[in-house]
Structure 1
Amino acid sequence: MTTAQTPPLEAGLTYVEQPDAGALHRLVLRSDAGTAGDGSDGRASDGAARTSRRETLWIDAGGAASTYGLTAQAPTRRALRGIRVARAFTAHQHHQLVRNAVGEASGRTGLVVAPNVGALYDAADACDAEVDRLFSASLALLADLADALAVPVLVSAPRASEQRRATVRERADREIECERTDLGYAFATEGFETTGYWQRGWWQTTIPYWAELCGTVAERTEAFEPTAVAASLAD
């Protein structure tokens, strides 16, 4: 049973289907893969509790790395240490920052984030052939970086065209889905589902939480099937 509100981040290129930038902020700041600082909020089982000193390289596009947004999602200010943000405003700048990230990454790098990965290429003032080549190269470099360092590389494409978004999803090793609820962000992967929402002073669970904790009616019925002796006595 887990009380984590975000899924564990695995090495490889991961596509994040996000409702807004805040979902990515929470995913980064509540994960074990990311930045320095203990991030502890009193629950040892929460993904926010970490002691690593690894850095996060953030290749920003579209203003996703909002200072206010990151601060709002950080469990403590120490959780923000180690996040290195570089902002791009054109497709060529974005491609160069991806190349720079490959050169800057090291054994201390625990996470790479590239939100809005296709937006600047869609808006580029250049011929389609050149832009497509830059986009493909950037995506390939991010995938290679994930493999070379064996770290998670998170990409999202909420502002990209359908074609570029489909390309990103096809290239990704896995996908994290997220939707915004009245209680907070709900994340889902093949092996994870947000089943509880913990806030300061209160918490809210869901039916899947209790089903995992206590089992379902069908499971309990199977567990108490009559033995052969009991069945013969009943006859």
Structure 2
Amino acid sequence: MHPRGQNGGRADPELPELETGVRLLDVDGDERATGPLHSLVLDHLLMNDGNAVWVDAAGHAVSQSLASLAPSGRTLDRIRVARGFTAYQHYSLVRRLPEQVDEDTSLVVCPAFDHFYRDTETYADEGDELFLRALATVASVADEYDVPVLVTRSKQDSFSDPLAAAATETIRCEQTKFGPRFVGDEFETLVYPMEDGTVQTTLSFWRCVLEARVSAAETTTTPEVAHGAY
């Protein structure tokens, strides 16, 4: 992850740059929060060519939230979403990722990666086994196709520890009294300072970040969005 943080001496706000490999985003205090995840996804698409392949779990691919943050609706057209509702469905979608990722794919998104595998629907250790196999698949996709795979987890505990162990880097998002802050190996961002001495926080903060990318979005040719199954 290149250190685009600290604003690099520029006035434009910055977010962590997602590089090749499994990138784990941990949101302190609320793993269900979608703002940080959506912001990283949209920022990546605004700064890079290509599309995002999204395997959703626990309702993280919220169109309204994404639309409220995106400076251009065309950016959303570059996200292909597949939704699973059980451990087996999610596992099947993840196993099909090698068929869905190609030279036009610049990002793979798998939020709440561990969510379904905790379900009592699976037998004994079957959930653990499916979880580890799915994790091996996304790690292989990241290596083979040289793309970043952005994942989150529904809970930070021993069950999801293999996800943290497999991640090339863990990006932590902390909610401070001054606003959201990303912390990574070589990156730290606090809030976006305003000329009058105030700071932008929450949704306003994310919009400031993403509006700085609008010029990139305006020059992107986008395919039609696909929801549901691949």
Q: Same fold (TM over 0.5)?
A: yes
Indicate if the aligned counterparts of 1:14 and 1:176 stay in contact, CA closer than 8 A.
yes
Q: 1:21 to 1:76 in 2, by over 3 A?
A: same
Structure with bigger gyration radius? 1
- Corresponding residue for residue 161 of structure 2: 166
Q: Does 1:189 align with 2:199?
A: no
Q: 2:145 aligns with which of 139, 143, 149?
A: 149
Q: 1:111 to 1:202 in 2, by over 3 A?
A: farther
- Corresponding residue for residue 81 of structure 1: 77
Indicate if the aligned counterparts of 1:13 and 1:146 stay in contact, CA closer than 8 A.
yes
Instruction: Look up the SS of the partner of 1:128 in the other structure.
Output: coil
Q: 1:77 to 1:131 in 2, by over 3 A?
A: same
Q: CA shift at 1:119, angstroms?
A: 0.8
- Corresponding residue for residue 21 of structure 2: 12
Map residues 98-113 of structure 1 onto 2, 5 A cutoff: 98-113=94-109
Q: CA shift at 1:126, angstroms?
A: 2.0
Residue-pair matches, total: 187
- Distance, in Å, in 2 between the alignment partners of 1:93 and 1:142 is 15
1:122-166 per-position Cα deviation (integer Å, ceiling 9, x unaligned): 014121222221111000000110011111101111x24612221
Structure 2 stretches lacking a partner, 5+ long: 1-7, 201-230
Q: 1:53 to 1:190 in 2, by over 3 A?
A: closer
Map residues 122-141 of structure 1 onto 2, 5 A cutoff: 122-141=118-137
- Distance, in Å, in 2 between the alignment partners of 1:198 and 1:104 is 40
CA RMSD for the aligned pairs? 2.3
Q: 1:181 to 1:134 in 2, by over 3 A?
A: same
Indicate if the aligned counterparts of 1:58 and 1:112 stay in contact, CA closer than 8 A.
yes
Q: CA shift at 1:106, angstroms?
A: 0.3
Indicate if the aligned counterparts of 2:172 and 2:183 stay in contact, CA closer than 8 A.
yes
Indicate if the aligned counterparts of 1:61 and 1:116 stay in contact, CA closer than 8 A.
yes
1:97-126 per-position Cα deviation (integer Å, ceiling 9, x unaligned): 001222110010100010000010001412
Q: Percent identity, aligned pairs only? A: 34
The worse-fitting range, judged by mean Cα deviation, of 123-132 and 17-26 is: 123-132
Indicate if the aligned counterparts of 2:182 and 2:190 stay in contact, CA closer than 8 A.
no
Q: CA shift at 1:180, angstroms?
A: 2.6
**TM-score scaled by length of structure 1:** 0.73
The structure whose RCO (Cα within 8 Å, separation 6+) is larger is 2
Q: CA shift at 1:74, angstroms?
A: 1.2
- Distance, in Å, in 1 between the alignment partners of 2:110 and 2:131 is 13
- Corresponding residue for residue 180 of structure 1: 175
Instruction: Look up the SS of the partner of 1:162 in the other structure.
Output: coil
- Corresponding residue for residue 64 of structure 1: 60
Q: Does 1:28 align with 2:37?
A: no
**TM-score scaled by length of structure 2:** 0.74
Q: 1:28 to 1:183 in 2, by over 3 A?
A: farther
Structure 1 stretches lacking a partner, 5+ long: 40-49, 206-235
